[in-house]
Amino acid sequence: MVTEIWGDCLHVWLAGGRLRSIMELRPGVEETARHWGLKRITIGGRPGWDRVLKRVGYARNGVELEKRL
């Protein structure tokens, strides 16, 4: 998972590997972002991520998925 910080946001712009492994990283990434004082996470990616991440609080915002922390 490759991330960068944009203002109050942690942006995930690349993730590779098995879906299960990526999803196992998600809670720790979110907790780290909160610890750093960030307010949201955005993810650039294919529309298929909508189905997977909707159940954990992400929603499509333009071309990215977003979750308010």
Mean pLDDT per 10-residue interval, the chain, length 69 residues: 95 92 95 97 88 93 90
Q: Which of 14, 30, 35 is nearest to 67 (CA)?
A: 30
Q: Which of 11, 13, 6 is nearest to 46 (CA)?
A: 13
**What's the confidence (pLDDT) of residue 48?**
86
**What's the confidence (pLDDT) of residue 33?**
97
How far does the chain reach from its first CA to its final CA, in angstroms? 19
**What's the confidence (pLDDT) of residue 63?**
83
pTM of the model: 0.84
Quote the CA–CA distance of 25 and 23 in Å, as a whole number: 5
**In angstroms, what CA-CA distances link 33 with 11, 28, 43?**
10, 9, 13
